Amino acid sequence: MSPLPVVAVLNGPNLNLLGEREPDVYGSATLEDVRERCEVVASAHGFALDFRQTNHEGVLIDAIHELGASAAGLVVNAAGWTHTSVALADALVIPEVPIIEVHISNVHQREAFRHHSYVSPLASGIVVGCGIRGYEFAIRRLVEVLG
Ligand code: DQA
């Protein structure tokens, strides 16, 4: 039997503190809660989940290089690097797999520096301001895009 295709969910800096960090902005659910929801949605659609978080930009870039060989698609919440990282954008081009960008908060209602994203031009779709439900929507959309 062939292994299940992989959906990778990548989380950038400070998202390990979800639930504690600015709960008025990001809610009270933890990153482990997010992982569990992603697991349910991915497995319901016949995908394996590769769920990661890092506070180190190079670690995320190495992960993207690695996932280029194994993931069918990526869900990316690059957190603060969304707005700053050309290196991250350069890495995300390499795997040539569909990307759905997620932000828990509505970045467009927030400070102007959050309105620009280096990830958005590379994304098949963007889910913004839907709380942690956005990750579920993103995986569902990725499955549709993958056909
Ligand atoms: C975020 C929005 C970013 O602007 C912020 O830096 C984050 C989280 C979100 O999920 O709403 O860390 O990506």
Please work out whether the CB of residue 76 comes within 6 Å of at least one atom of ligand 1. no
Convert the pLDDT of each residue in 105-142 to its tens digit. Answer: 999 999 999 999 999 999 999 999 999 999 999 999 99
Q: Whose CA is nearest to atom 1 of ligand 1?
A: 79
Alpha-carbon distances, residue 1 vs 7, 46, 71, 136, 146 (angstroms): 18, 13, 18, 27, 20
Residue 41's CB: how many other CB atoms inside 10 A?
Answer: 19
- Which pLDDT belongs to residue 1? 57
Quick check: 2 pLDDT over 80? no
Kindly give the number of the ligand 1 atom that is closest to the alpha carbon of 134: 10
Convert the pLDDT of each residue in 15-46 to its tens digit. Answer: 999 999 999 999 999 999 999 999 999 999 99
Convert the pLDDT of each residue in 49-70 to its tens digit. Answer: 999 999 999 999 999 999 998 9
Q: How far apart are the first and last CA of the chain?
A: 20
Please work out whether the CB of residue 114 comes within 6 Å of at least one atom of ligand 1. yes
Kindly give the number of the ligand 1 atom that is closest to the alpha carbon of 12: 12
**Is the model's pTM score more than 0.95?**
yes
Q: Whose CA is nearest to atom 6 of ligand 1?
A: 80
Query: In angstroms, rounded to a whole number, what is the distance separating the alpha carbons of residues 146 and 46?
Result: 12
- Which pLDDT belongs to residue 113? 97
Quick check: 79 pLDDT over 60? yes
